[in-house]
Structure 1
Amino acid sequence: MPPLLPLLVLSVLASASASAEQDVYALGKLKAALVSDTTPALADWDLAAAPPAHCSFRGVSCDSAARVVGINLTGMPLHGGSLPPEVALLDALENLTVAACSLEGSLPASLAALPALRHLNISNNNFTGPFPVPIGAGEPYFPVLEFVDAYNNNLSGPLPPFGAAHTRLRYLHLGGNYFSGVIRESYADLAALEYLGLNGNSLSGCVPASLARLKRLREMYIGYFNMFNGGVPPELGELHSLVRLDMSSCNLTGPIPPELGQLAHLDTLFLQMNRLSGEIPTQIAGLKNLKSMDLSMNELTGEIPAGLANLTSLTLLHLFRNHLHGNIPEFVANLPNLEVLQLWENNLTGQLPAGLGKNSPLKMLDVAINHLTGQIPPELCAHGTLEALVLMENCLSGPIPGSLAACKTLKQIRLGKNMFSTSSVPAQLFDLEEAKANMLELTKVVLTSQL
């Protein structure tokens, strides 16, 4: 009998006249499913009150005809509550937001039949089972949906069957669940889509090259725990509206496509923790608006491309744990906005650029476990922003600059396993911990030397 309940609800929807009384009835069913006997939530939902009193219930909004058009219960502690099939009786409902309410159970199939629903936010709950699918042939399936956020639940099964019919859908976040199978080819037909979040699932197969048809897409997150075959489709370079691309930790192989250099609006490129190989393409220099680039923990080879000098908006550059060789280019010291530079565990040689820290508000420098020689640049803290300096396991030598001892922002410094003379350590370096006025925490000072 339970499987007939969604059909019964739809039958009631078809036969009942749209009315505020119908909404009050549906709110009663909703309250009964959401609230346990021990939970004081929704205490003001007095279902004995006549319409339009229900429009004053907490989290409920109505239109001029006293029809319920919005329910927003964000953050309300509804531990153990669930969504009942009768939610589909709210046939004027445009916005259903029950984020971070500790809701459980499965999502009712009847949810997909809501004729006016534009905004659905069920994020940060404990919903299980599949996302609703069409109840039957010819039945409506979220016909006017524009926004879906189901992030951080326990949903499973295949991704929901959105496609070309969903001409209004512009935001789709299904990350942080257990969806499995492939990324549906039909997602490439979501012509209005601006945000796609599929990260943190159990997806497999290849990343569809057809996603390049999403010409309005601004943000795409498809990494973390997904395990794709193959690499980054070169066609993604056609996503000219893209601002953020995160394909981290999802088993990607092969080279970084040079076509990504065509993404002129991109400000974030995260491809870390994959198995990408080959050299960093020089075409990356075309990403003039790039602020954060993380290519760490791959199998990249070659040198740091000279074209990265064009990335003058760059604040974060992570290339650590690859197989890069050659010098750290001098232009790195001239990137005016650089705050974080992590190049550790490569095969880099030569000296640190002498001007590091002079021309940018450097906060963190980590070049540990390379083959660097020469001295520590004297102006690493010229902007008074340096917090972490990790130079250990290189072949650095010479004196330790006294300017580091005057750097009141410094919290971590690791210089061990180099060739510094212990007599070159400024005594004031050990006074940093006493700078209480600056709330400093000198967490670790390692100055052991290889003599």
Structure 2
Amino acid sequence: MRIPHVSLLSFIFCYCFWIHHSVYYTGVSAQIVEDQQQSLLKLKNSLKFKTNKSTKLVSWNPSVDFCKWRGVACDEERQVTGLDLSGESIYGEFDNSSTLFTLQNLQILNLSDNNFSSEIPSGFNKLKNLTYLNLSHAGFVGQIPTEISYLTRLVTLDISSVSYLYGPPLKLENIDLQMLVRNLTMLRQLYMDGVIVTTQGNTWSNAFFQLVNLQELSMSDCNLSGPLDPSLTRLPNLSVIRLDQNNFSSPVPETFANFTNLTTLHLSSCELTGTFPEKIFQVATLSVLDLSFNYHLYGSLPKFPLNSPLQTLIVSGTNFSGAIPPSINNLGQ
């Protein structure tokens, strides 16, 4: 049976079209991969770091598949989705011109434990796919940019700071806390220890009312003032609360006993007053409770339930008094 002339022409056309597009898209894919490697190499060359202390950057070699470089993670299409440059002894300026911001498929970025000694660049808003961003103890100083609030897919944000060792600490001064987190509704972990937050009274705690997925909140030494507000209990999934070294000058709300998933409560050196609510000791999941160095906080040890999960209990430097109950034997952990 003879194939009609028109059908044969159509077949040849479709075959040539398929070949052309296969070659084209293969070329495009190869170019994208090449661009990814070049961006990483440009990033390495733009960063200052101590080679004798580096274990990742120093090993990046163009003769080796970049997806196998230390600190680099790729997806199936060889796009860079993860970058871990923590503890690389990186120092000096880091700004919006960095080729880091061309890696727009990044989902995980860790720059912690370095010494950039510069402000956090606003260019982070280009990394729209980030779910994990760790800039903690990286030497960043000055104002935290509002552009962080554009990273709406973030699940974990860590901007903890001890930057007073290198210069002015990180701070939220020109924008308030609510403006920073307003769009970060997917956050589960927020760590801001050491960031100077300039808010009035208890308004800082109202900033989180949209973060219904938040599980861990760490804001030690953040210049927060009181009173310690019951509004935090609107976040039902909170399991870890660290608020040490702030100045609340207030009692601990009894409603904190309503955190049904609470495992860790750190409130040391917070100028707490009044009597600590005994109900909080009864939270069935509580394993760590630190109330130390609140000299005007009163209380007594309760009857501990059998098989209590409590592992750490610190009340030194408080006005807790009374007998140690026999039920302390129930604290088997």
Decide: shared fold, TM above 0.5. Answer: yes
Selected match of 1:208 from 166, 177, 194: 177
Q: 2:220 matched to 1:251?
A: no
Q: Residue 91 of structure 2 corresponds to which residue in structure 1?
A: 128
After TM superposition, the structure 1 stretch with the greater mean CA deviation from structure 2, 153-162 or 199-208, is 199-208
Residue of structure 2 in register with 1:73 after alignment: 70
Structure 1 residues 310 and 160, CA, compared in 2 at 3 Å: closer, same or farther?
farther
The change in CA–CA distance for 1:175 and 1:46 in structure 2 (over 3 A counts) is closer
Query: What's the counterpart of residue 219 of structure 1?
Result: 189
Q: Which residue of 2 aligns with 1:294?
A: 266
Deviation at 1:31, TM superposition (A): 9.8
Does 181-190 or 275-284 show the bigger shift?
181-190
* Cross-structure match for 2:145: 184
Which amino acid counterpart does residue 323 of structure 1 have in structure 2? Y
Does residue 18 in structure 1 map to residue 31 in structure 2?
yes
Match of residue 150, structure 1, among 111, 114, 129: 111
Answer whether contact 2:278 2:302 (CA < 8 A) is retained. no
Structure 2 CA distance for aligned equivalents of residues 30 and 325 of structure 1: 52
**In 1: Cα distance, 2:40 partner to 2:294 partner:** 57
* 1:274 maps to amino acid: N
Gaps of at least 5 residues in structure 2 are: 1-29, 164-168
Instruction: Report the Cα distance in structure 2 between the residues aligned to 1:240 and 1:296, rounded to whole angstroms.
Output: 26
- Deviation for aligned residue 1:141: 4.7
Cα deviations across residues 355-392 of structure 1 (Å, max 9, x unaligned)?
112x2225xxxxxxxxxxxxxxxxxxxxxxxxxxxxxx
- Deviation digits for residues 211-265 of structure 1, max 9, x if unmatched? 14311101111113x3332363322243221121111123322222212122222
Cα pair distance change 1:278/1:19, threshold 3 Å: closer
1:316 corresponds to which letter in structure 2?
V
Q: Distance in 2 between matches of 1:296 and 1:46?
A: 48
CA contact (8 A) 1:315 1:340 kept: yes
Residue identity opposite 1:219 in structure 2: Q
Q: After TM superposition, list the pairs within 5 Å mapping 1:279-318 onto structure 2.
A: 279-318=251-290
Specify the SS of the correspondent of 2:186: coil
1:135, CA displacement in angstroms?
Answer: 6.9
State the shift of 1:342 in Å: 0.8
Query: What one-letter code is carried by the residue in structure 1 that aligns with 2:132?
Result: Y
Tell me whether 1:240 sits opposite 2:212 in the alignment.
Answer: yes
- Per the TM alignment, residue 150 of structure 1 is displaced from its structure 2 partner at its CA by 0.1
Partner of 2:134: 173
Give CA deviations for 1:401-420 in whole Å, capped at 9, x if unaligned. Answer: xxxxxxxxxxxxxxxxxxxx
Mapped to 2, the partners of 1:305 and 1:285 lie a distance apart of: 8
Match of 1:349 among 321, 325, 328: 321
Give the alignment of 1:307-346 within 5 angstroms. 307-332=279-304, 336-346=308-318
- For residues 35-84 of structure 1, the C-alpha deviation after alignment (integer angstroms, 9 at most, x for no partner) is 98xx9x99x9998xxxxxx4xx3xx3xxxxxxx5x14225xxxxxxxxxx
Tell me how far apart the structure 1 counterparts of residues 290 and 301 of structure 2 sit (CA, whole Å): 15
Any conservation in 2 of the 1:335–1:360 contact (CA below 8 Å)? yes
Secondary structure of 1:167's counterpart equals coil
For the pair 1:197 / 2:158, whether they are aligned, the reply is yes
The alpha carbon displacement at 1:133 in A equals: 0.6
Q: Which amino acid aligns with 1:214?
A: L
1:233 match: secondary structure? helix
Give the conservation status (yes or no) of the 8 Å contact 2:95–2:120.
no
* Residues 27 and 332 (structure 1), Cα distance of their counterparts in 2 relative to 1, 3 Å cut: closer
Alpha-carbon RMSD:
3.9
Distance 1:27 1:252 in 2: 40
Instruction: Compare 301-310 and 281-290 and name the one that shifted more.
Output: 301-310
Aligned-pair CA distance for 1:270: 0.8
Between the aligned partners of 1:197 and 1:296, the Cα distance in structure 2 is 21
1:267-308 Cα offsets, whole Å, 9 max, x none, are 211111222220111221121111111101110001111331
CA shift for structure 1 position 316: 1.0
Corresponding residue for 2:198?
A: 229
The percent of aligned pairs where both chains have the same amino acid is 24
Task: Give the conservation status (yes or no) of the 8 Å contact 2:134–2:159.
Answer: yes
Per the alignment, in what secondary structure is the counterpart of residue 172 of structure 2? coil
Aligned counterparts of 1:180 and 1:45: Cα–Cα separation in 2: 28
CA 1:116–1:316: 2 relative to 1, 3 Å: same
Give the aligned length.
284
Q: Aligned partners of 2:261 and 2:142: how far apart in 1?
A: 34
Compared CA separation, residues 349 and 288, structure 1 to 2 (3 A): same
State the match for 1:365 in structure 2.
none
1:23-62 paired onto structure 2 within 5 Å? 54=63, 57=64, 60=65
1-side partners of 2:258 and 2:91: how far apart? Answer: 43
Q: Is the 8 A contact 1:133 1:160 kept in 2?
A: yes
Q: Normalising by structure 1, what TM-score?
A: 0.54
Preserved contact between residue 333 and residue 353 of structure 1 (Cα < 8 Å) = no
Larger radius of gyration: 1
Residue type at the aligned position of 1:167: K
Structure having the higher helix fraction is: 2
Identify the residue that residue 404 of structure 1 maps to in structure 2: none
* CA distance in structure 2 between the aligned counterparts of 1:301 and 1:45, rounded to whole angstroms: 55
